[in-house]
């Protein structure tokens, strides 16, 4: 009898610990930056953003975006947001929800990789074909993000589309294209148009994408800023533009 009671107590303790862990995991509350916890408590985060956060696969990456956006909003930096490499719009959606007052420019083929960009690829990207990331469409992303005059789409190859945004100044740019060629093009285009204090975040700076890493390394050698690496799931590289 005594052993049965001990067994039951141990079982209940483990069940409670598991329930707490599961709640934290599902709600995304475990180990969050204090600023986010406070903002959530104060009700200053859009309920939809909190919902989307729960299903966003990389919480560190989400927090990198959120903290950078908070910094930009706190210093009232002008300029628009941009994402190069939108795919199904998961990140575009959170960026728009984080700063709905700003225009966001979204660049993607919306039909997968361009064949010419794949030619000199290495590592994981050398196995890609134009079919990768083709299971999306401009229409689907428009439905996901909802109608807003603040959201501007540039469907097509970045090198051909970017000229349409050549007069725009940016404060926040996410580059997530998995390939060296469009990453280089994005860095050159956006850095030139980035306001001092503005940020460029390049996703997938890790040895699985060696050509992308080489392209980024080549670019950062030409600029005065020292990039910072963020230990999110696939490593993001962050460049905050100096005040000139
Ligand atoms: C990894 S996915 C982007 C994922 C997205 N940022 C997210 O977090 O959900 C890479 C995307 O880059 C796009 N892409 C790659 N090369 C491109 C190019 N040259 N021009 C426009 N889009 C490109 C692909 O079509 C694909 O949708």
Which residue's CA is minimally distant from atom 15 of ligand 1?
Answer: 177
The whole-number average pLDDT for the span 181-196 is 98
Can you give the pLDDT at residue 33?
Answer: 95
Q: Measured in angstroms, how far is the CA atom of residue 177 from the centroid of ligand 1?
A: 4
Q: Measured in angstroms, how far is the CA atom of residue 50 from the centroid of ligand 1?
A: 25
Q: Measured in angstroms, how far is the CA atom of residue 220 from the centroid of ligand 1?
A: 21
Can you give the pLDDT at residue 26?
Answer: 55
Choosing from 85, 112, 144, 212 the residue with most ligand 1 atoms within 8 A of its CB, the one to mutate for a pocket test is 85
Q: Measured in angstroms, how far is the CA atom of residue 194 from the centroid of ligand 1?
A: 20
Q: Measured in angstroms, how far is the CA atom of residue 16 from the centroid of ligand 1?
A: 42
10 or 111: which leads in pLDDT: 111
Can you give the pLDDT at residue 25?
Answer: 57
Can you give the pLDDT at residue 9?
Answer: 75
Dump the DSSP string for the chain: -HHHHHHHHHHHHHHHHHHHHHHHHHHT-TT--HHHHHHHHHT-S-HHHHHHHHH-S-HHHHHHHHHHHHHHHHTT--SEEEEE--TTSHHHHHHHHH-TTS-EEEEE-SS---HHHHTT--GGGGG--TTTT-S--HHHHHHHH---TTEEEEES-HHHHGGGGTT--EEEEEE--SSHHHHHHHHHHHHHHEEEEEEEEES--STTSHHHHHHHHHHHTTSSSPPEEE-STT-EEEEEPPP-
Choosing from 88, 95, 109 the residue with most ligand 1 atoms within 8 A of its CB, the one to mutate for a pocket test is 109
pTM, entire model: 0.91
Domains of the chain: 1-30 (no CATH), 43-240 (3.40.50.150)
Mean residue pLDDT across the chain: 94
Q: Which residues line ligand 1 (CB under 6 A)?
A: 85-88, 90-91, 107-109, 112-114, 117, 133, 157-158, 176-179, 182
Q: Measured in angstroms, how far is the CA atom of residue 44 from the centroid of ligand 1?
A: 31
Atom of ligand 1 nearest to the CA of 111: 25
Choosing from 64, 83, 86 the residue with most ligand 1 atoms within 8 A of its CB, the one to mutate for a pocket test is 86
Can you give the pLDDT at residue 106?
Answer: 99
Choosing from 59, 104, 108, 128 the residue with most ligand 1 atoms within 8 A of its CB, the one to mutate for a pocket test is 108
> Residue 12: pLDDT band by 50, 70, 90 thresholds?
confident
For the stretch 107-161, pLDDT in tens is 999 999 999 999 999 999 999 999 999 999 999 999 999 999 999 999 999 999 9
């Amino acid at each position: 009898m005594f052993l049965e009671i001990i067994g039951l107590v141990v079982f209940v303790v483990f069940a409670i610990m598991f329930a707490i862990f599961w709640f934290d995991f599902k709600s995304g509350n475990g180990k969050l930056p204090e600023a986010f916890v406070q903002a959530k408590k104060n009700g200053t985060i859009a309920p939809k953003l909190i919902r989307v956060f729960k299903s966003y696969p990389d919480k560190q990456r989400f927090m990198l975006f959120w903290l950078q956006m908070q910094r930009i909003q706190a210093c009232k930096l002008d300029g628009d947001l941009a994402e190069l490499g939108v795919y199904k719009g998961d990140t575009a959606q959170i960026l728009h929800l984080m700063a709905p007052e700003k225009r966001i420019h979204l660049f993607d083929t919306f039909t997968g990789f361009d064949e010419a960009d794949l030619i000199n690829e290495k590592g994981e990207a050398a196995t890609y074909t134009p079919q990768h990331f083709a299971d999306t469409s401009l229409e689907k992303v428009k439905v996901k993000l909802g109608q807003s005059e603040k959201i501007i789409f540039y469907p097509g190859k970045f090198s051909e589309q970017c000229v349409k945004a050549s007069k725009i100044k940016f404060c926040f740019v996410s580059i997530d294209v998995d390939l060296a060629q469009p990453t280089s093009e994005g860095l050159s285009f956006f850095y030139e148009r980035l306001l001092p204090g503005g940020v460029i975040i390049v996703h997938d700076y890790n040895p699985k994408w060696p050509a992308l890493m080489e392209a980024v390394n080549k670019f950062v050698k030409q600029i005065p800023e020292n990039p910072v690496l963020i230990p999110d799931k696939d490593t993001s590289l962050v460049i905050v533009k100096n005040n000139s």
